[in-house]
């Protein structure tokens, strides 16, 4: 019997989006020996693929230049690749399996939707001089360009990007105020215990944090002049630079008329296939039922985007080759680097009913384990890579219960 013939298709396969999910789709198609045409619609950024996590860390701190955060171009050993840079998908015609790219329809055998998210910028704050969101390379470059004047900086929003930005700018010695709408930075992501630790770190490093505070107005009377920041308690401050870390919205607009469910990202089945057999989704935009957590998730983390991209390709190849499509069951994971410390979390803590807190390392860094109905669902820690990674494996195992808490030193203290 000869070797199996490589997977191929008649019409092109289209990857929609830039970095990293679409980049991984293209890379994976080639790695899997796919021999057909691939069209990569790379989005409007007009730059080669790069590491987004580095933007708020090494790039902002000036430790890594643009060329050091680039991803290698996808291999083309098997695929015939047509890259469309500075190009956007503007419409999907699901009945005809074709996508409109800058006025031209492209027919496809498969479409991988990886159009991710864009920064949420409230309309009154958009386009104000001295006010920047941080989502793209252009955003990060614009912020970095302003740092030479050692600006007084206000960071609005204390989620992952806001907290990291505050830490990076403070590491450069800039005066930084961090505005948190909740009581603690990063609390929504890593929970109360790590949120308290994160606040202490900001304070110890000289960041002034205003908790439970909303920004009601930003005004910049003269371009190049200071920005006036008004708060909901009637007070205010002035800044030379304002960075908005107010979250992001999914880039689903172009799918509006396609008859697909885009109520929270693009809904897919457990194999990452959407309501249309030839359309798959991966990355921040994908909303899928997670078999371990028994609920739909949409995960906004770097490693999830590439893992889903590889999986979506596998799902499509399985269809092509008459195999059963596999379910995507990876455990969500993310990290964040601040002041030389690495925050990490694995799993999904929403709906937990028990928390176990241990402390590790100098100064008592919290390591928090979350359970739901006796089952381990998540863990988060600081400089605790091995314990967090062990948690990932334990969560995946159906036999895991509270008895198997992966605390770093075996200590358990239930709150
Ligand atoms: C500053 C920053 C720091 C981060 N740090 C971390 C971290 O430390 N750890 C972590 O786990 N995660 C981190 N993340 C999150 C991580 O980067 C995202 O989860 C990841 O980038 C998602 O990848 P994606 O490909 O799904 O979407 P995106 O990265 O949003 O990419 C989507 C791409 O699609 C393009 N696009 C949009 N619309 C269209 C269209 N209509 N047609 C074609 N293309 C389109 C866009 O231009 C973009 O290039 C960070 C994100 C940012 C912004």
State the distance from the centre of ligand 1 to the C-alpha of 335, rounded, in angstroms. 15
State the distance from the centre of ligand 1 to the C-alpha of 61, rounded, in angstroms. 20
Please list, in sequence order, all residues whose beta carbon lies within 8 angstroms of the beta carbon of residue 227, skipping any fewer than 6 positions away.
Answer: 128, 129, 130, 131, 154, 218, 219, 220, 238, 239, 240, 241, 242
Residue 8 lies in a domain: no
User: 298 with 218, same domain?
Assistant: no
User: 255 with 203, same domain?
Assistant: no
User: 111 with 124, same domain?
Assistant: no
Residue 409 lies in a domain: no
At residue 409, the pLDDT reads 43
State the distance from the centre of ligand 1 to the C-alpha of 173, rounded, in angstroms. 28
Residue whose Cα lies nearest atom 48 of ligand 1: it is: 18
User: 93 with 211, same domain?
Assistant: no
- Domain of 379 in residue numbering reads as 340-404
Query: Is 41 near ligand 1, meaning CB less than 6 Å away?
Result: yes
User: 241 with 153, same domain?
Assistant: yes
Residue whose Cα lies nearest atom 7 of ligand 1: it is: 53
User: 160 with 195, same domain?
Assistant: yes
Residue 241 lies in a domain: yes
At residue 8, the pLDDT reads 77
The CATH number of residue 264's host domain is 3.50.50.60
User: 400 with 255, same domain?
Assistant: no
Residue 414 lies in a domain: no
Q: Which atom of ligand 1 is nearest to the CA of 336?
A: 8
Q: Looking at the 3D structure of the chain, how many domains does it have? A: 3
pLDDT tens string, the chain, 415 residues long: the values are: 445 577 777 899 999 998 899 999 999 999 999 999 999 999 999 888 999 999 999 999 999 999 999 999 999 999 999 999 999 999 999 999 999 999 999 999 999 999 999 999 999 999 999 999 999 999 999 999 999 989 999 999 999 999 999 999 999 999 999 999 999 999 999 999 999 999 999 999 999 999 999 999 999 988 888 999 999 999 999 999 999 999 999 999 999 899 999 999 999 999 999 999 999 999 999 999 999 999 999 999 999 999 999 999 999 999 999 999 999 999 999 999 999 999 999 999 988 999 999 988 877 899 999 999 999 999 999 999 999 999 999 998 765 444 445 555 433 333 3
Residue finishing a domain among 320, 348, 365: 320
Of 319, 320, 282, nearest to 301 (Cα)?
A: 282
The CATH number of residue 382's host domain is 3.30.390.30
Separation between Cα atoms, residue 386 and residue 389, nearest integer Å = 5
Query: Is 306 near ligand 1, meaning CB less than 6 Å away?
Result: no
């Amino acid at each position: 019997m000869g070797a199996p013939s490589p997977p191929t298709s008649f019409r092109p396969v289209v990857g929609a989006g830039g970095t990293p999910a679409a980049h991984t789709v293209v890379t994976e198609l080639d790695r899997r020996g796919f021999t057909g045409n691939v069209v990569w619609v790379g989005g409007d950024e007009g730059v080669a693929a790069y590491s987004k996590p580095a933007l708020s860390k090494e790039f902002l701190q000036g430790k890594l230049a643009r060329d050091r955060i680039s991803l290698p171009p996808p291999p083309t050993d098997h695929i015939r690749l047509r890259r469309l840079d500075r190009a956007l998908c503007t419409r999907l015609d699901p009945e005809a399996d074709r996508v409109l790219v800058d006025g031209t329809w492209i027919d496809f055998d498969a479409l991988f939707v990886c159009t991710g998210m864009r920064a949420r910028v409230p309309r009154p704050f958009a386009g104000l001089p001295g006010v920047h969101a941080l989502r793209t390379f252009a955003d990060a470059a614009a912020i970095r360009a302003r740092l030479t004047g050692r600006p007084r900086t206000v960071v609005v929003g204390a989620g992952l990007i806001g907290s990291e930005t505050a830490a990076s700018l403070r590491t450069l010695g800039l005066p930084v105020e961090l505005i948190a709408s909740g009581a603690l930075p990063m609390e929504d992501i890593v929970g109360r215990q790590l949120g308290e630790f994160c606040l202490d770190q900001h304070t110890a490093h000289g960041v002034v944090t205003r908790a439970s505070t909303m920004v009601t107005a930003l005004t910049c009377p003269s371009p190049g002049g200071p920005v006036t920041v008004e708060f909901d308690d009637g007070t205010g401050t002035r800044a030379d630079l304002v960075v908005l870390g107010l979250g992001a919205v999914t880039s689903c607009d172009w799918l509006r008329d396609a008859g697909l469910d885009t109520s929270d990202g693009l809904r897919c089945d457990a194999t990452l296939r959407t309501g249309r057999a030839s359309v798959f989704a991966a990355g921040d935009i994908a909303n899928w039922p997670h078999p371990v957590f028994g609920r739909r998730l949409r995960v906004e983390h770097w490693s999830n985007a590439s893992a889903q991209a590889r999986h979506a390709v596998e799902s499509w190849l399985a269809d092509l080759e008459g195999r059963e499509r596999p379910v995507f069951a990876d455990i969500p994971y993310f990290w964040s680097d601040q002041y030389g410390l690495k925050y990490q979390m694995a799993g999904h803590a929403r709906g937990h009913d028990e928390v176990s807190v241990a402390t590790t390392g100098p100064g008592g860094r919290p390591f928090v384990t979350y359970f739901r109905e006796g089952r381990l669902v998540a863990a988060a820690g600081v400089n605790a890579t091995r314990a967090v990674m062990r948690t990932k494996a334990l969560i995946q195992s159906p036999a895991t219960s509270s008895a198997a808490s992966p605390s770093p030193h075996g200590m358990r203290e239930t709150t």
